[in-house]
C-alpha cells in the first residue's frame, strides 16, 4: 500500500465518525451457502479447485473447531458470534481465478483506486523510481482479484501470488509449510481459519535473493454478513530478504463483521522478513455500533540460524482487535522484533502484543509497544517473553508505554516474562501516563492549539515505532494516528 498523495488526502479527511473507507462497492457477487458445515467447506474447496489433501486438511480443522471453546482470557467483550449466520465465501462474480489486469472488472479497479491502491502497473511505473515500486496482491472479500508485477518478480525467482493459485501451482511448497508455524489447532480462530480460509497471499523468496521490490497485500471486506478469513504464507529461503506490507479497510456497516486471519512466516538460515501492517478496518461508529472483529494469528518462525523476523504494526481500526504477532526464535543467533502502535478511540477494544519464544542459543528480541487510549476505549498490551532451557545468552528488551487521553478509557499492561535459563538477560520497562500539562502548556505558549499540540506530542510518543516503517507507510501511519485521535481532546 504505497501512500500516494491521494490516499493521504483521503485519510486526512477521516475522523471517528467519518470513516472514509466506509463506502460499499456495488458489484454483483456470488456467495456460498450460509453457515459453517462440511458442505460449506467442500463447496469452498471445490470453488478453488483445491487438491484433495487440502480439502481433508480443512475438514479435519472443522472437526477440531467444533470441539473447541471460544477463549475468554483477553480483555475484550462482545456478544457471541453465531458462526451459522455467516457466509464463508463471497466473490465478485466477474472474477474466477487469477486474472491479468485487463480482465479485472473496472468497478474493482476503481474501488482500489479510491482506496489509494493503484493496481495498473503502467500507472505505478510512471513517475516512480524503480526501487520504490510495490507489488500488490489485492484481496476482495474471499478472493484475490489481481497480483501486480508478477512477471517481473518471477524473473528474480520470487513467487508472489494468491494462496489459491499457489496451491495449484506450487503444491509441494504449500504442503511443506502451511500449518507448520501456526498448527491447525493452535487456537480457536486459527482453527476456524484453517477450515474456511478463502484467500490470501503466498510469497516464496528463493535462496540468496533480495526481493527487488516491496510486496504488499491489500485486504478489503465488501460483502455483508461475510467473514474474511485470509491466510498468508511467506517463506524466505536461505540468505534471502523480503519486506512485506499489509493494509486493510472495510465498508461502514451497522453489524459487526468477523476477520480471522492467519499469517505464517518462515525464515531459514540467514534470511530476513520484515512485515509491516497498517490496520484500518472499520472501527464502528461513535456509539460503538458496527465495526470489524479482528481476531488474527500472526506468527513467524526463525527456523534457520542468523535469521530475523520483524513485525511492525500500526493498529487504528477494528471494533475489537485480538492479535499477537509472535516470533519463535528457533535458529541460533536469530532475532525477533515487534514494533507496535495501537490507537484506540470511541468504543474500540484492543488486546494486542507479542510473544517472543527464545529456543535457540544467542537469540535476541526487542519489543517496543506504544498504546494510546482515548474516548471510551480499552487498550491492553499483552506479551510473553520466554527463554527456554537451552536458550543460552538469550536477550530481550521490552519497552511498553501507554498514553491516556481522557478519563473514560483504560490502558493495561500484562507482560509475562519467563526465564528458564540463567544466561538469559531480560529487561522490561513500562510506563503509563497522560500528556503532561507542562508539555501542553509549552506547545500552547509557542502558538499551537490543543489539537495541534496533542498531535505533535503523540507523534513524538510513537516515533520509535514509526521509524521502523517503510517511508511511504510512515507518512500514512502518522496521519492516520492523528485522525484516529481527532475529537479526543477538549
Partner 1 sequence: MNANAPIRNTQAESDLIDRYDAAKSALAGSVAVSALRDNALGQIKDKGLPHRRVEEYKYSDLRAFMKSAAPLATAADSSAVKGVLEASETFGDLARFKIVVANGSFVAELSDIDALAAEGVTVSNLTDALSSDEGAQLLKSPKTGPNDGLVALNTAFVQGGVVVAVKDGAEVSKPLELVQLATATGAQVVRNKITVGKGAKLRVLESFSGDTGAGEINTVFDYDVADNATVAATRLIVGKTDAARLLTTIATLGADAEFKSLGFIAGPQFVRNQQFINFTGENSEAKIYGVSMAGGSDLADQTLIVDHAVPHCNSREFFKTVLDGEARGVYQGRINVAPHAQKTDGEMMTQALLLSETAEMANKPELEIFADDVLCAHGATSGQIDEDLLFYLRARGIPEDEAKTLLVLAFLSEAIEEYGEDDVTEGLEQRVRDWLAGH
Partner 2 sequence: MLEIKNLHARIAEDETEILRGIDLTVNAGEVHAIMGPNGSGKSTLSYILAGKDDYEVTEGEILFNGENMLDMEPDERAAAGMFLAFQYPIEIPGVATMEFLKTAMNAQRKARGEDTLSIPDFMKRVKEAAAHLNVSMDMLKRPLNVGFSGGEKKRAEILQMSLLEPKLCVLDETDSGLDIDALRIVSEGVNKLRGPDRAMVVITHYQRLLDHIVPDVVHVLSKGKIVKTGDKDLALELEKNGYADIINAAA
Q: Which residues bind partner 1 (CB under 8 A)?
A: 69, 73, 389, 402, 404-434
Return d(Cα 285, Cα 312) in angstroms, integer. 26
Indicate the residue among 206 and 415 with the shorter CB distance to partner 1: 415
Indicate the residue among 236 and 483 with the shorter CB distance to partner 2: 483
Cβ 402 to partner 1 shortest distance, Å:
7
Residue 67 CB contacts under 8 Å (≥ 6 apart), including other chains: none
From partner 1, partner 2, none, which one binds at residue 250 (CB under 5 to 8 Å depending on kind)? none
Cβ 314 to partner 1 shortest distance, Å:
22
Question: Do 485 and 374 contact (CB within 8 A), yes or no?
Answer: yes
Indicate the residue among 132 and 436 with the shorter CB distance to partner 2: 436
Indicate the residue among 169 and 450 with the shorter CB distance to partner 2: 450
DSSP summary character for residue 228: B
User: Does 9 interact with partner 2 (rule: CB under 8 A)?
Assistant: no
Indicate the residue among 13 and 422 with the shorter CB distance to partner 1: 422
Cβ 442 to partner 2 shortest distance, Å:
4
From partner 2, partner 1, none, which one binds at residue 207 (CB under 5 to 8 Å depending on kind)? none
Return d(Cα 42, Cα 64) in angstroms, integer. 16
Report the sign of the C-alpha dihedral through residues 17, 139, 321, 63, in that order.
Answer: positive
Question: Do 407 and 376 contact (CB within 8 A), yes or no?
Answer: no
From partner 1, partner 2, none, which one binds at residue 176 (CB under 5 to 8 Å depending on kind)? none
Cβ 16 to partner 2 shortest distance, Å:
23
Cβ 373 to partner 2 shortest distance, Å:
18
How many residues at the interface with partner 2, by CB under 8 A?
22
Cβ 93 to partner 2 shortest distance, Å:
48
The three three-digit cell numbers of residue 253, written as one number: 456497516
Indicate the residue among 249 and 482 with the shorter CB distance to partner 2: 482
Return d(Cα 388, Cα 277) in angstroms, integer. 29
Question: Do 359 and 389 contact (CB within 8 A), yes or no?
Answer: no
As to burial, measured by CB atoms within 10 angstroms (0-12 exposed, 13-18 middle, 19+ buried), residue 433 is exposed
In 3D, which of 426, 424, 404 has the Cα closest to residue 413?
A: 404
Cβ 462 to partner 1 shortest distance, Å:
18
SS3 state of residue 338: strand
Report the sign of the C-alpha dihedral through residues 287, 289, 291, 295, in that order.
Answer: positive
The three three-digit cell numbers of residue 466, written as one number: 514509526
Listed in order, strand segments (DSSP E) in 345-434 are: 349-352, 355-358, 364-373, 378-387, 395-404, 410-419, 425-434
Indicate the residue among 37 and 439 with the shorter CB distance to partner 2: 439
In 3D, which of 437, 217, 467 has the Cα closest to residue 341?
A: 467
Indicate the residue among 420 and 446 with the shorter CB distance to partner 1: 420
From partner 2, partner 1, none, which one binds at residue 446 (CB under 5 to 8 Å depending on kind)? partner 2
Tell me the window of 146-154, 244-252, 372-380, 453-461 that interacts with partner 2 (CB under 8 A): 453-461
From partner 2, partner 1, none, which one binds at residue 160 (CB under 5 to 8 Å depending on kind)? none
Cβ 339 to partner 2 shortest distance, Å:
14
Structural element, H or E, at residue 112: helix 106-114
Residues 384-443 that bind partner 2 (CB under 8 A): 436, 438-439, 441-443
Return d(Cα 488, Cα 409) in angstroms, integer. 11
Residue that is written with C-alpha cell 477494528 in the block: 318
Build a one-symbol-per-residue string for 455-484: x at contacts with partner 2 by CB under 8 A, - elsewhere: -xx-xxxxxx--------------------
Cβ 436 to partner 1 shortest distance, Å:
9
User: Does 447 interact with partner 2 (rule: CB under 8 A)?
Assistant: yes
Cβ 236 to partner 1 shortest distance, Å:
31
Residue 287: count other Cβ atoms within 10 Å of its Cβ: 10
Indicate the residue among 309 and 435 with the shorter CB distance to partner 2: 435
From partner 2, partner 1, none, which one binds at residue 73 (CB under 5 to 8 Å depending on kind)? partner 1
Indicate the residue among 85 and 450 with the shorter CB distance to partner 2: 450
Question: Do 168 and 206 contact (CB within 8 A), yes or no?
Answer: no
Instruction: By CB under 8 A, name the binding residues for partner 2.
Output: 436, 438-439, 441-450, 452, 456-457, 459-464
Amino acid at each position: 500500500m504505497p501512500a500516494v498523495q491521494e490516499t493521504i488526502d483521503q485519510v486526512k479527511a477521516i475522523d471517528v465518525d467519518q470513516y472514509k473507507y466506509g463506502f460499499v462497492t456495488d458489484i454483483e457477487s456470488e456467495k456460498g451457502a450460509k453457515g459453517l458445515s462440511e458442505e460449506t467447506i467442500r463447496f469452498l474447496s471445490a470453488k478453488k479447485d483445491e487438491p484433495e489433501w487440502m480439502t481433508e486438511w480443512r475438514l479435519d480443522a472443522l472437526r477440531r473447531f467444533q470441539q473447541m471453546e471460544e477463549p475468554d482470557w483477553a480483555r475484550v467483550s462482545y456478544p457471541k458470534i453465531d458462526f451459522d449466520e455467516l457466509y464463508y465465501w463471497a466473490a465478485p462474480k466477474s472474477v474466477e481465478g487469477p486474472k491479468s489486469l485487463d480482465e479485472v472488472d473496472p468497478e474493482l479497479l476503481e474501488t482500489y483506486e479510491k482506496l489509494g491502491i493503484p493496481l495498473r502497473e503502467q500507472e505505478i511505473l510512471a513517475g516512480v523510481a524503480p526501487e520504490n515500486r510495490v507489488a500488490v496482491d489485492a484481496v476482495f472479500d474471499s478472493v484475490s482479484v489481481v497480483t501486480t508485477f508478477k512477471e517481473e518478480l518471477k524473473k528474480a525467482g520470487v513467487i508472489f501470488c494468491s494462496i489459491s493459485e499457489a496451491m495449484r501451482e506450487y503444491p509441494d511448497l504449500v504442503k511443506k509449510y502451511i500449518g507448520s508455524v501456526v498448527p491447525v489447532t493452535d487456537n480457536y480462530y486459527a482453527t476456524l481459519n484453517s477450515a474456511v480460509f478463502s484467500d490470501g497471499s503466498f510469497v516464496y523468496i528463493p535462496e540468496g535473493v533480495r526481493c527487488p521490490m516491496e510486496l504488499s497485500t491489500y485486504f478489503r471486506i465488501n460483502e455483508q454478513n461475510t467473514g474474511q478469513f485470509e491466510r498468508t504464507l511467506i517463506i524466505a529461503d536461505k540468505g534471502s530478504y523480503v519486506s512485506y506490507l499489509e493494509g486493510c479497510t472495510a465498508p461502514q456497516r451497522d453489524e459487526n463483521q468477523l476477520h480471522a486471519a492467519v499469517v505464517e512466516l518462515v525464515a531459514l538460515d540467514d534470511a530476513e522478513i520484515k512485515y509491516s501492517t497498517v490496520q484500518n478496518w472499520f472501527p464502528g461508529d461513535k456509539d460503538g455500533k458496527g465495526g470489524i472483529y479482528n481476531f488474527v494469528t500472526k506468527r513467524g518462525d526463525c527456523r534457520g540460524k542468523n535469521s530475523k523476523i520483524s513485525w511492525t504494526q500500526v493498529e487504528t481500526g477494528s471494533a475489537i482487535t485480538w492479535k499477537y504477532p509472535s516470533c519463535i526464535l528457533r535458529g541460533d543467533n536469530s532475532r525477533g522484533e515487534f514494533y507496535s502502535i495501537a490507537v484506540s478511540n470511541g468504543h474500540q477494544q484492543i488486546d494486542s502484543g507479542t510473544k517472543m519464544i527464545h529456543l535457540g542459543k544467542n537469540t535476541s528480541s526487542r519489543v517496543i509497544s506504544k498504546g494510546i487510549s482515548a474516548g471510551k476505549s480499552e487498550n491492553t498490551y499483552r506479551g510473553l517473553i520466554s527463554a527456554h532451557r537451552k536458550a543460552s545468552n538469550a536477550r530481550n528488551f521490552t519497552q511498553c508505554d501507554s498514553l491516556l487521553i481522557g478519563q473514560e478509557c483504560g490502558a493495561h499492561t500484562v507482560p509475562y516474562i519467563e526465564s528458564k535459563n540463567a544466561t538469559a538477560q531480560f529487561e522490561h520497562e513500562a510506563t503509563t501516563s497522560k500528556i503532561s500539562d507542562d508539555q501542553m502548556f509549552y506547545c500552547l505558549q509557542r502558538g499551537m492549539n490543543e489539537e495541534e499540540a496533542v498531535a505533535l506530542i503523540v507523534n513524538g510518543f510513537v516515533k520509535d515505532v514509526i521509524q521502523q516503517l517503510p517511508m511511504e507507510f510512515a507518512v500514512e501511519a502518522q496521519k492516520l494516528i492523528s485522525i484516529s485521535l481527532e475529537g479526543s481532546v477538549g
